[in-house]
Amino acid sequence: MSTPMASVAMDTACPISPSTSATSTSSTISYTDSYARLPSRGPSTHAHIIDVGDYNANGVTGLLRLQDAAVTTLHNMSAEILETFLSPTINTFKAVFGKKDLQLVIWRKGLEVLVSAAAMGTFENHSSMKAFRFEYLAGFLIGYDGSWHLKVTATNAYCTTKWPDVWAGKFEDRGGVTKMSVEVEQMAMAKRASLLAEYMLETKFWELKADVKTT
């Protein structure tokens, strides 16, 4: 597949909506106001900081939004890191969490965001194959009003170890038991993204070493 992420899916937002309180429709996802720019009562399509203490204690019965998990991970790393990620004066932001062969990547270029994963929540670098394998991958477009639009999700996708190729969406199916799958339908994307969000919170990637680069 060689189609850029931003062009392979419908321009739709993640369909999970928080209630007018600081919880989602599942009534078990609590948000905090620990970061003023992302208020707990913000619009449903915006990102929110999840109360990880409450989440760890009570779990969740509904779908999680991946944008919430992404900003929560960055915020729990540090408020300054999240501020950098959201800054309009920063053109590119890439945070790589974890070990060399098992990592989580949150990458923004302009208004596009990629969250990548393999083995539930990370990507794998197969040096012998000269390829990255993404067990889970999701692409967003952030609107100028701060809304996040889920554009595409994919599973078991391979790409060369060149990050520009990853960003361009040059993924391919290299066979095996599990075939590559690309979702563009709204609910299918939301479900796939929720799996990654859940793993990110349970793994607490913010407690791992991270390499952050910006331009």
Q: Would you state the pLDDT for residue 56?
A: 72
The tens-digit pLDDT sequence of the chain (215 residues) is: 333 333 333 232 333 233 323 333 344 689 999 999 999 999 989 999 999 988 776 666 678 999 999 999 999 999 999 999 999 999 999 998 887 666 788 999 999 999 986 554 345 666 677 787 787 889 999 999 999 999 888 888 888 887 777 777 788 888 776 788 888 788 999 998 998 898 888 889 999 999 999 99
Q: Report the predicted TM-score, pTM, of the whole model to 2 decimal places.
A: 0.78
Q: Would you state the pLDDT for residue 134?
A: 80
Q: State the helix-helix crossing angle for 66-77 and 79-86, rounded to 10 degrees.
A: 130
Domain-wise residue ranges, the chain: 5-214
Q: By C-alpha distance, which of 40, 97, 89, 92 is closest to 73?
A: 97
